[in-house]
Structure 1
Amino acid sequence: MLLAAVTGYTLIGLAAGLFYREFTKLNGFEEGMHGQLGLAHTHILTLGVIVLLVVMALEKSFTLSVGRLFRWFFWIYNAGVVVTAVGLVWHGMLQVIGHESSKMIAGIAGTGHMLLGAGFVLLLLMLRKAVSR
């Protein structure tokens, strides 16, 4: 389950970087201008790949998946990564084409970050229990 997620996020993260480069070039977005779209690539690779690789190492050491919180962690955390990434891409595309963002997009991104936070809390609770075993 973890390896499949890491593989998927690797592919999606790399594709997001390619999309960023081509979409900004196609729309004449000035090179060096910063926007949300460029953040999607790094967020997906960091939150989806690096964090889950660390969780895989922790799983190997502590067998986190035997606990009842693991499934909750996995789905809530991954929902947070996906919702955050979608918010970044959506907001970033609007920036590149010169449209105003809306409070709805900020709310979606905020929801993604709250899910990520809940996922991290669950991970820490699992680690606390695993270390005390």
Structure 2
Amino acid sequence: MRKILNTAHIYMIIGVVSGLYSRELTKAEDFTGDTQLDVVHTHVLALGMLFFLIVLVLEKQFTLTSSALFGWFFWIYNIGLAVTVGMMTLHGTLTVLGHSSGEAIAMVAGLGHILLTAGLILLFVTLGKRLQPAPAPGSDAAPDPDPAAPLPAPAP
């Protein structure tokens, strides 16, 4: 759980720094147009910090890290987010500096999006494996007790 919290914290720092970078670079270059730098910090905060805070809650509830697929999800998603945000930052910086970005940047950004998608699929598969199956209709099996429900008082 600590690794998930630390990941969210790192993305919070990167998100704040990327917002500062965008503001200072556009101000230094007297740039007034639209650029991808404007949305980098939002992407990092939403897809990084907030996303991993949600994963932290899911970990607490379903113990996702006990699944072998969780490690695959964690690294593929993080690599995908790093590639995507890196290409957005590069493209935005080139725009502010008055240079065009080549087709290669768009292709690498696409690869980052593919990795993000693969990571999300792995997260959903992991979550699906950690959910308890519902009892079959008409079966006598009682549902699992609610883990958040208070325990009954011991008999005197």
| TM-based fold match above 0.5 | yes
- Separation in structure 2 between the aligned mates of residue 110 and residue 58 of structure 1, nearest angstrom: 28
**Alpha-carbon RMSD:** 0.9
How far did 1:132 drift? 3.0
- Separation in structure 2 between the aligned mates of residue 106 and residue 28 of structure 1, nearest angstrom: 26
Letter in 1 for 2:5: L
- 1:111 aligns to 2:111 (yes or no): yes
Count of residues in Structure 1 that have an aligned counterpart in Structure 2 = 131
Q: Which of 3, 6, 11 is the matching residue for 2:5? A: 3
Q: What SS does the corresponding residue of 1:132 show, helix, strand or coil?
A: coil
Q: In structure 1, what is the equivalent of residue 17 of structure 2? A: 15
Q: What SS does the corresponding residue of 2:131 show, helix, strand or coil?
A: helix
Q: In structure 1, what is the equivalent of residue 50 of structure 2? A: 50
Q: In structure 1, what is the equivalent of residue 27 of structure 2? A: 25
TM-score, normalising length: structure 1: 0.95
Structure 2 runs not aligned, ≥5 long: 134-156
Q: Deviations over 1:51-88 (max 9, x none)?
A: 11110000000000000100000000000111111000
**% same residue:** 46
Letter in 1 for 2:82: V
Question: As a proportion of its length, which structure holds more helix?
Answer: 1
Letter in 2 for 1:18: L
Structure 1 runs not aligned, ≥5 long: none
Letter in 2 for 1:9: Y
TM-score, normalising length: structure 2: 0.82
